[in-house]
Amino acid sequence: MAGYSVAYGLWVNADNVCIEGPGTLVPYTSGQGYTLLVFGNGGAPNSHPGEAGDWTLNVGCTGLNFDGTGFDANGVSAIQFTYCKGFYATNCHFRNVSGRGVFGLATQRYGRIVGNTIDVVAAAGHTLSGIYLDGGSYCLVTNNYIGGCNGIGIVIQSNIDNGAAGTCKYNRISENVINDPYSIGIQLEGVQCSQVHNNYISDTAASVAAIRLRSYASALGKVESSWNSIVGNYLFRSNTGGTAIQCLGYDANAFDGTPLPCRLNFLATNYIDDQFAAKISIGQQAGQNIIADNVWDTVGTFTADDATPSVSGGFNVYKTANANPTTVTMLDGGYTGQRVTIIIDDANTTIDFTGTNLKGNGGADWSPAGGDFMVCTFDGTDWYCEVHTT
């Protein structure tokens, strides 16, 4: 396909269509929020004679260029898939696309977003994403480069489909490079049984997380984010701030006001740069996650003279720093299964093992010396502590 100019998008509403490069799609006039290339019926299922009247099947593009240069204020997106099965965007190049690079609207299944370069998805007033799959299941997102994104690098989230919240399942996000997004690196919202493995994410915004798992809730429905694995990712920062990995549920969700957990996720063997202010953050209703063998070098320090110091910063090791006599009665912010080592780094700390949720030392209070330490494991109610003198 030769150079091709489109106004409000090239719309493909048929099965078994592949648009192959080389070729470049560019907008030729101003317009807010339009998309250069659209696959699917653009409406609800059953309006297109696809599989059982539900889907647009086996559609996509490969080797195309999308160039939104000169239209930065218009929120131009590159590719949109709507109610598609077997969709794909491979080896495409996106330049100055100021909306979303690849946008899956409504429900999609069996997608492949592979080997694309999204150089700049940035424009003032448009906080969008490099790859955004709303309702994606059984999707592979791998080997993509996303740079300068004015929003979230990669998003997969549940959607509202025919008035009910739909769960996204069995996705794999792996071996992507996400450099300097304006917001979060990767977000899974209302997603289950999916993998985020071996991605490189650098310099996410200082106020958010590099990777965020969040349960989904709206006025129309709710879905847990559960049974996902976050493994082997490399998370870097060039300045201090932000959170590396965050799990969030709701004490009272927007659908029915009940608790909505974010649980049973596996967070392991991730490398986390010391510049992250918080390494792993476990928020509301986010217990019962498995956290193991993540690597960072920093030792956390408790707030001075705090009788219930927090261990929610995600560090494996903490030091005390009490300037005045302080009796510790609880470790706040723990999650079930958490294990921390606490090094006594002052001469002012007493551990209250009598009548508190701290269990250890034969039930007797402990007045350690500087350099002593204890190893504590949380069962969701009590901390079980092994004390060690040096």
Question: What residue ranges do the domains of the chain occupy?
Answer: 4-292, 300-388
Range 300-388 classified under CATH 3.30.40: no
Contact 266, 290 (CB under 8 A): yes
Per the listing, tokens 């898939």 go with 81
pLDDT of residue 162: 47
Most confident segment among 42-46, 134-138, 190-194 = 190-194
- The number of angstroms, rounded, from the C-alpha of 152 to the middle of its chain's C-alpha atoms is 9
For the stretch 195-243, pLDDT in tens is 999 999 998 878 889 999 999 888 778 889 999 999 999 999 888 888 9
End-to-end CA distance of the chain: 74
pLDDT band at 145 (very low <50, low <70, confident <90, very high): very high
Question: Which CATH code, of 1.10.3660.10, 3.20.20.70, 2.160.20.10, 3.30.1200.10, is assigned to 4-292?
Answer: 2.160.20.10
- What is the residue-wise DSSP string for 179-205? ES-SS-SEEEESEES-EEES-EEE---
pTM, full prediction: 0.80
Q: What is the pLDDT of residue 381?
A: 93
What pLDDT, on the 0 to 100 scale, is given for residue 154? 93
Report yes or no: 211 and 244 within 8 Å, Cβ to Cβ: yes
The alpha carbon dihedral of 44, 172, 204, 243 has a sign of positive
Query: Is 47's pLDDT higher than 60?
Result: no
- Residue 80 or residue 322, greater confidence: 322
Tokens representing 6 are: 């489109």
Q: Residue 92, Cβ neighbours under 10 Å: how many?
A: 26
Given this model, what pLDDT does residue 149 score?
Answer: 73
Q: In this predicted structure, what is the pLDDT of residue 344?
A: 96
CA angle 358, 362, 366 (to 5 degrees): 65
Q: How many residues does the chain have?
A: 390
pLDDT of residue 6: 39
State both tokens at 283: 């928020």
